[in-house]
Amino acid sequence: MQQYHAVKKQHPTALLLFRLGDFYELFYDDAVIASKLLQITLTSRNKEKGQQVPMCGVPYHAADNYIARLVRGGHRVAICEQMEQPGPGKKIVRREVIRVLTPGTATASTLVQEKENNFLAAIARSSGPASGSRVKAQRMAASAGASHSQGSLELGGSVAAGPSASIGLAYVDLSTGEFRATEFSGEKAEFRLRDELGLLRPREVLLARPRTLFPTAAPPETNGLGALETRLDDWVFEANHASRLLEEQFRVAVLDGFGLVGHPLATAAAGAIVHYLRETSAIGAGKESTTGSGPALRPSGAGLEHLDKIGYYEQQEAMALDAVTVRNLELVEPSGGDDASATLLSALDETATGMGARLLRRWIVRPEISLQEIEARLDAVADLKSRTVAREELFATLGNILDLERLTSRVTLAIATPRDLLALKSSLEKIPVLRKLILGDSAARGSDSTPGANTDESMRAPSPGAASPAPRLENLSHELDELRDVHALIARAIDDDPPALASDPGVIRRGFHAELDELRDITKQGRQIIAAMEDRERKRTGIASLKIRYNQVFGYYIEVTKPNAALVPADYERKQTLVNAERFTFGELKEHERKILTAEDRVLEIERGLYAEIRESIAHEASRLRRTAAAVAQLDVLVNFARLAASRHYARPEFTESAMGVASAPVAGSGTWASAAQLPLDEIASARSAAVGGADNRGRGVFMIASGRHPVIERLLEQRGERFVPNDLYLDDESQCLLIITGPNMGGKSTYLRQVALISVMAQIGSFVPAAQARLPLVDRVFTRIGASDNLARGRSTFLVEMSEVAGILNMATPASLVLLDEVGRGTSTFDGLSIAWAVVEALHAGARPRTLFATHYHELTELEQLLPGVRNVHVSVQEAGSEIVFLRRVEPGSADKSYGIEVARLAGLPQAVIARAREILRHHEQSEEKLTEELSPGAAPRAPEQTSFAALDASVLEALRSASLDELTPLEALNLLAALQRQLK
């Protein structure tokens, strides 16, 4: 146990797997954690000064699987091996940690997800204040800010330390070689760092060790990420050290080429990553345990040569989606315990390769804001959509391409097996096919236009877009490198049916290496000679059962059964005696044995050498392979978009002018709703009337969706055989920039909000969108906030969280942003909540005035339509059918009927007295609400008396109907009653 404690002290944060005989054992807390995670029995051992020591163990031959589960579970795992054979006379076997596996440095396919990146991130901070003083600075900033209107909402404790705060972030995926870095500065640096981490979802984060005396709680930056947090000494994050390390790693003299110049913190973070990777891979380098091969998950000291470049990027180069929004919109992960298929990613991911799936995920959380890039993708999608046959063939061909990105990394990490190389080869064979399909049969197209039997004009005219592929596709076809040299090398060198491991014989193809072939012949002949020798010796000795055999320990031997022992000739030397047989050898056999064994050794030696050389020379082409892999990934995603567009009737979005800049084409007719005349008329009728009154509309930032659908819910409903009801949307900068959406619970408000944001995101990643037509502005940020009680399932939401999230919007939204507020204010008492909701709308209106959709059950908010220009009411409609309420799911102009809840209660059979009392209370509330409106905005409060009097009339009519005895009425009396009732209602 002393030895255990010594080893554990060197790896205090790792689960220590301690080799004892045929088991890896874990002790103490490690054992408790592992037994839970692995579902293995926790036992104990009571040797430690009478104290029970918890322990559990896994058999060494099955360890890979267990270790994989621990690492995937987010733990660091240290493997401690026996370094010598236990034997008599040795009291304690020497043991050493030969490997440390961590979630962020894992590369083995058992450890990483096929369709996700496995990121290791590092965060470097500028002045490096002790975390205690940072918290103090935050508090001070928060209390100082309390005096101005926005600061008072900054309750999240996540406010930046000050304008000088600067943070560097770097991340790497060892399994793909992606290595990037960025920097955040200014007062929003902390916000933006958290957003970025929320998108990346790293498996492990490197941070400087806090300088405080006492360990602090989890820092805000990694809170809730589920990443393993690894603390390093702060000199590791020192910029000079980092530059030197990076220059060495990338084998360059200066880092200029990577865009890192002038970004010392990004450099520091990247340096920390390289430092850490080297440190972990150096553990146990060159050490081989003597007891079995040990886990094969990652070779110790595996090369990091493939990390040969880094890219600097700016977060602003993409539509900003903060972590809360990504979660609320369920872009890549379901929120709460929902169905995993209910995300935008899963709804859109029908990619054919893991590379494509990973790229799609990256695109979804980082939509473009460059119109040029978006249009280039959309052009490509449109082109592929129009070429049905080529598109489907592309899809099928992509399906036969294996993960080039990860295969390349396995080659450069020197862990590629012969079968990996064959997979690489067969994947490369598909590249020319892709190219041909992309470029299309240009030759055939040419011949289309040659005069033929068909003289029909329309047939001869080249259809638009068919002349040549979209420029993006053409570019991709240039990027696709079939790497003939690599392909040829593998084809020449690697056997068609190689062993699974590169260390076994039979990897190299015959004909590749002359000496190797010769030696193989020798071993083969050697075996024939031995077979002949066996025959001859049987005849010579007259022992018919004589055998010549081979085993690892004794080599070749002649075996003779005991009864025949007397017949053994004098030149046989005894090697071994068994119960019923004797084993011998003799001169000639010894001679042959030596020849064969040396030849076999030599064969293995040559094969291993050749294989290493081959792998090396493929590794030299890694950057070409990666470029090709990136092109395949993009092609896969574009083909995927085209297939979805075709099968799901998605439409190509058009971009209008927005606060971010001018779109490709100005919107015709100044962009009033009338300009949408070419839209399907009946479908937009309701939205059109919603826009009536927008005469002063300048048409900037027109945001218009005709018959929009929610891409995820539409599919879920389809699976149940139901139909999604499409809805329209109209927003602009002036006449209608903020919609208040009311309507009963379950009416479809939240769905409507989300579908708008999802359509915007889809458009800006270059996909067609679920709508009949969509004209969208470029959106710089999307914010989605959900009232606390809607979010309770997450078990972490409080009103405080809700408010700090709203504060984020007020701080960060710009006129080009899209803001979705769903039941904000719900987390507190009605009056508080209403007041806050009201103030938030006013602040948005008075401030950046982003386009906003606000779904609310605070009916009072509909008053804002009268008070603030640009605010409009819409509601989700319902219909009463007998005693049933039918949700029509249609979004219509105006606010919802506010007595609706009481009507539902009446239909449900609540006693008349209760209904009447409820109406009375409602009236009371309405009066105080009028007073509130009056106070907030003197003179502007409109009166809405029809509502209440309608309810009263309604009741008397119903009462009259209920009490009429139809059996006694004549037809004329019945008619008169009807007329009287109608009069009352009017």
Contacts with Mg ion by CB under 5 A lie at: 750
Strands 871-881 and 120-125: unpaired
Q: Which C-beta is closer to ligand ADP: that of 743 or that of 825?
A: 743
Cβ of residue 713: shortest distance to ligand ADP, in angstroms?
A: 5
Q: Is residue 963 packed enough to be buried (19+ CB in 10 Å), middle (13-18) or exposed (0-12)? A: exposed
Of residues 558, 379, 392, 591, the one with CA closest to residue 464: 379
Q: Are 310 and 180 in contact (CB under 8 A)?
A: yes
Residue 190 vs 823, nearer CB to Mg ion: 823
Instruction: Report the nearest approach of Mg ion to the CB of residue 785 (Å).
Output: 12
Q: Which two tokens stand for residue 18?
A: 């301690």
743 or 815: CB nearest ligand ADP: 743
- 851 strand-pairing partners: 818
What's the min distance (Å) between Cβ of 32 and ligand ADP? 42
If binding is defined by CB under 6 A, does position 295 make contact with ligand ADP? no
3-class secondary-structure state, position 525: helix
Q: Which does 748 bind (CB under 5 to 8 A by kind): Mg ion, ligand ADP, none?
A: ligand ADP
Q: Could you tell me the CA-to-CA distances from 276 to 120, 204, 512, 879 in Å, in that order?
A: 10, 12, 40, 63
Facing residues of 19 across strands?
A: 24
Minimum CB distance to Mg ion, residue 718 (Å): 21
What mask of x and - would describe binding to ligand ADP in positions 730 to 769, judged by CB under 6 A?
Answer: -------------x-xxxxxxx------------------
The minimum distance between CB 788 and Mg ion, in angstroms, equals 13
Which of 276, 724, 799, 858 is the binder for ligand ADP (CB under 6 A)?
724
Q: How far is the CB of 342 from ligand ADP (least distance, A)?
A: 10
Sheet holding 773-777, edge to edge: 654-656, 773-777, 703-708, 727-731
Q: What letter represents residue 504's amino acid?
A: D
Could you tell which of ligand ADP, Mg ion, none binds residue 889, using a CB distance below 5 to 8 A set by kind?
ligand ADP
What string marks each residue from 888 to 917 as x (binds ligand ADP by CB under 6 A) or -? Answer: -x----------------------------
Nearest to 710 by CA among 671, 677, 757, 645: 757
Q: Closer to ligand ADP at the Cβ: 482 or 903? A: 903
H or E segment to which residue 394 belongs: helix 388-398
Q: Which residue is nearest to Mg ion, using beta carbons? A: 750
Burial of 742 (0-12, 13-18, 19+ CB in 10 A): buried
Nearest approach, Cβ of residue 322 and Mg ion (Å): 20
Which residue's CB is nearer to ligand ADP, number 296 or number 886? 886
Q: Is 19 in the site for ligand ADP (CB under 6 A)?
A: no
Residue among 628 and 856 whose Cβ is closer to ligand ADP: 856
Point out which span in 140-148, 213-221, 720-728, 811-819 binds ligand ADP (CB under 6 A).
720-728
The answer to whether 807 and 783 are in contact (CB under 8 A) is no
Instruction: Choose among Mg ion, ligand ADP, none what residue 773 binds, the Cβ cut-off being 5 to 8 Å by kind.
Output: none
Nearer to ligand ADP, 354 or 726 (CB): 726
Is the CB of 699 or the CB of 827 nearer to Mg ion? 827
Candidates 137, 143, 163; CA nearest to 155 is: 143
Compute how many other C-beta atoms are within 10 angstroms of the C-beta atom of residue 533: 17
What's the min distance (Å) between Cβ of 888 and ligand ADP?
9
Nearer to ligand ADP, 678 or 719 (CB): 719
Q: Which does 751 bind (CB under 5 to 8 A by kind): Mg ion, ligand ADP, none?
A: ligand ADP
Q: Does 725 bind ligand ADP (CB under 6 A)?
A: yes
- DSSP code of residue 414: T
Which listed option, Mg ion, ligand ADP, none, makes contact with residue 650 (CB within 5 to 8 Å by class)?
none
Closer Cβ to Mg ion, 318 or 855, answer by number: 855
| Alpha helix ranges (H) inside 791-829 | 799-812
Between 184 and 724, name the residue whose CB sits nearer to ligand ADP.
Answer: 724
Smallest separation, CB 188 to Mg ion (Å): 29
Q: How many CB atoms lie within 10 A of CB 749?
A: 25
| Rounded Cα–Cα distance for residues 356 and 114 (Å) | 11
Q: Tell me how far apart the alpha carbons of residues 569 and 77 are, in angstroms, rounded to a whole number.
A: 60
d(CA 684, CA 672): 13
Task: Give the x/- contact pattern for ligand ADP in 118-157, rule: CB under 6 A.
Answer: ----------------------------------------
In the complex with ligand ADP, the residue whose CB is nearer, 90 or 723, is 723
CA distance 595 to 524: 11
Task: Note whether 372 binds ligand ADP by CB under 6 A.
Answer: no
Instruction: Tell me: does residue 875 bind ligand ADP (CB under 6 A).
Output: no
Amino acid at 611: Y
Residue 171 near residue 312 (C-beta atoms within 8 A): no
Q: How far is the CB of 738 from ligand ADP (least distance, A)?
A: 18
Beta carbons within 10 angstroms of residue 944's beta carbon: 15
State the DSSP code for 444: H
Rounded Cα–Cα distance for residues 945 and 925 (Å):
13
CB under 5 to 8 A by kind: which of ligand ADP, Mg ion, none does 406 bind?
A: none
β-bridge mates for residue 785, sequence order: 821
Q: Dihedral of the CA atoms 191, 196, 198, 201 (nearest 10)?
A: -150
Task: Please work out the total of residues on this chain that contact ligand ADP, with binding judged by CB under 6 A.
Answer: 15
Residues that bind ligand ADP in the complex, under the rule CB under 6 A: 713, 717, 724-725, 727, 743, 745-751, 876, 889
